[in-house]
Structure 1
Amino acid sequence: MVKKTHFWLGLLVAVAIISGLVASCKPKPAPLGTEKNPIIFAFVPSGEAPEIIESADTAAKLLSEKTGYVIKGNVATSYSAVVEAMCTGKAHMSTLATFAYLLAHEKCGVDCALVSVRYGSPYYKGEIIAGADTGIKKLEDLKGKRVCWVDAASTSGYIIPRIMLKAAGVDPDKDLAQQTEVGSHPGVVLAVYKGDCDAGACYVDARDKVAKDYPDVKEKTIVVAMSPKIPNDGLQFVKDFPPDMRKKIVEAFKEIMQTDEGREAMGKAYGWAEVVEKDDSFYDDFRATLEASGVSVEELAK
């Protein structure tokens, strides 16, 4: 009996030693910010794809040069795809729009570091535009019409305009003839301009993004309504991003936004002119506005 006990004890010890040796032989993951484990900077597709891709590459390059980290830009297919990437470890930094950021923060602790500034303000407005020949003059006129949205997670291109419609007595899911998500703000403008949709929602004034190619865009489309002010988008990090690396990247981003190349890249992508440091509390008033309108970020994040 004693011999059997010694045998099994010896076997268990041997297994433990072997397991430890095997575990110690497993290669450790490469440090974050190196070629084998780059920092993934996810960009939302709110503008024209070629411009966003070019801007993502430029911003990543400039940040890499400033910090010494390997940073790769990546343009996602949708706002929701960026939220998913940030919550599953496939991305580390992002340029999430306001509502998408709130979702990501609620879902997995994504945290705001910088907020963009356009036209001297960290806030912006959304607008609902319509074809000038559609007869649409006010929100109530959208009943029975075809409406284009940006993306279901877009603040000015979906969330807020739907709240505005409901306040005007128009149920988007019952009263509209057709709803289409086109994926970008300029895409909404072009859909309305070309008559593919009678009306659409975008930021103020996304029509400027297509005016070079379609100089009569403000003659063929009209602004039906504008939203209250909305906090701007910005730069965010995943919850467990190393604090020292985050600080270094934030400082580098502020510096590149002082350069012509940096401003041009982020301006071309999203119209960013500069950035300011803000924490998550910057969005609290907007959260309260959503809650008062019956939109629960907490419920949507489940």
Structure 2
Amino acid sequence: MKNYRMDFRADGNIDITYGPNKIVFGLCLIETKETDEIFTKLGYLFSEYLGISFTFRLFTSYNQIISSLECGYLDGAIVSPPVYLSARKRNIANVILQPLRFEIDPDTGDTTVELVPFYRAIIISKNTKLRTISDLGNKTFALQERFSLTHLWSVVELYLAGILQQTGGIIMNSHKEAVNSVLSELCDAAAIFQDARNLVLTENPFIFRNTHIIHYTQPIPNDAIVTKIDLDQSLVISIKRAFEFVFSSVQGSIYFDRLFGWKGITEADDSKFSLLNQYISIYSDIMNTD
């Protein structure tokens, strides 16, 4: 049973918040024996810190997570940036935290020591005559599927460069396939996450010598850790502190790294997703125009 509370505001309106007896967090991830074991251990660490039961629930789609947040089955979730924006516009959830990952060295593809709440897409080519994004007019271009943020960012920035209509886009099934399409010269260039060239490094040890980066996109935000919008604020703060506490522990940091590749965590607000909001709007206009 949830404990609801009414707060009377100065403008005469009422804020209704709740404090549950247990916390349920949702996320999309393939369920395996290993993930079940890790989430059970993580749940124990969170419960120990918060003093109430904390459980992770795995879902097969983000639509299920949105619905579960809306109906009150979930108190929070780990979601992709577009899903967070959708939940925010429907007044369902607020972002509280973002994961951090290591920045990538552009020359070697190795990780650096700098932790960042974003990543970039890069456009690579084997053709040495192609040096900037503006050179891609009338060229073949490997893209990821439409639900990928790499796809969204690349299409919008090709459009802003004024060459989208002249570029022949080919949808690839994976970032590895996109890299190989450049190596085989099926495509003149490819948009990939930085740095997906590491995916073919074993079979192509000279990949960084044989390709070069034409363009770096604007930063793409990492996933959003969100709580239900009407969750009691004191509990929201406790959940934030719990994530920070668990991540600072040896066990917790290992678990989050194994599950998501997270290397750290930081506070977040809507400003971190403002560019994404603009890009979604531009992309929608592009698709409607087409």
TM-score band, normalised by shorter chain = 0.5 to 0.7
Cα deviation code 1:42-95 (max 9, x no counterpart): 13x6xxx69x99568625531333314241342545x66655664566654333
Normalising by structure 2, what TM-score?
Answer: 0.64
Q: Give the superposed CA RMSD.
A: 4.1
Once the two structures are TM-superposed, the CA of residue 204 in structure 1 deviates from its matched residue by 2.5
Unaligned runs of 5+ in 1: 1-30
Once the two structures are TM-superposed, the CA of residue 287 in structure 1 deviates from its matched residue by 5.7
The residue aligned with 1:294 is: 282
SS in 1 for 2:262: coil
Larger-Rg structure: 1
Once the two structures are TM-superposed, the CA of residue 255 in structure 1 deviates from its matched residue by 1.1
Q: Is the 8 A contact 2:39 2:56 kept in 1?
A: no
Unaligned runs of 5+ in 2: 1-19, 103-113
Paired residue type of 1:147: A
Among candidates 138, 142, 146, match of residue 147 of structure 1: 142
SS in 1 for 2:79: coil
Residues 80 and 256 (structure 1), Cα distance of their counterparts in 2 relative to 1, 3 Å cut: same
The residue aligned with 2:242 is: 252
SS in 2 for 1:254: helix
Paired residue type of 1:115: Q
Residues 93 and 214 (structure 1), Cα distance of their counterparts in 2 relative to 1, 3 Å cut: farther
Alignment partner of 1:191 is 2:193: no
Residues 115 and 179 (structure 1), Cα distance of their counterparts in 2 relative to 1, 3 Å cut: same
The residue aligned with 1:66 is: 46
Q: Is the 8 A contact 1:130 1:200 kept in 2?
A: yes
Q: How much identity, in percent, do the aligned residues show? A: 17
The residue aligned with 2:100 is: 117
Q: Equivalents in 2 of 1:241, 1:212: separation in Å?
A: 46
Once the two structures are TM-superposed, the CA of residue 256 in structure 1 deviates from its matched residue by 1.4
Q: Equivalents in 1 of 2:253, 2:44: separation in Å?
A: 16
Q: Equivalents in 1 of 2:41, 2:153: separation in Å?
A: 34
Residues 226 and 279 (structure 1), Cα distance of their counterparts in 2 relative to 1, 3 Å cut: same
Cα deviation code 1:100-142 (max 9, x no counterpart): 3223211343210112223344443422334536975543426
**Higher strand content, 1 or 2:** 2
The residue aligned with 1:164 is: 157
Once the two structures are TM-superposed, the CA of residue 276 in structure 1 deviates from its matched residue by 1.8
Q: Equivalents in 1 of 2:26, 2:272: separation in Å?
A: 22
Residues 194 and 109 (structure 1), Cα distance of their counterparts in 2 relative to 1, 3 Å cut: same
Once the two structures are TM-superposed, the CA of residue 167 in structure 1 deviates from its matched residue by 1.7
Q: Equivalents in 2 of 1:150, 1:59: separation in Å?
A: 30
Cα deviation code 1:205-233 (max 9, x no counterpart): 3444x367556353565422101234433
- The list of structure 1 runs, each at least 4 consecutive aligned residues, that deviate by more than 6 angstroms after superposition, is none
Q: Equivalents in 2 of 1:147, 1:245: separation in Å?
A: 45
SS in 2 for 1:118: strand
Paired residue type of 1:165: L
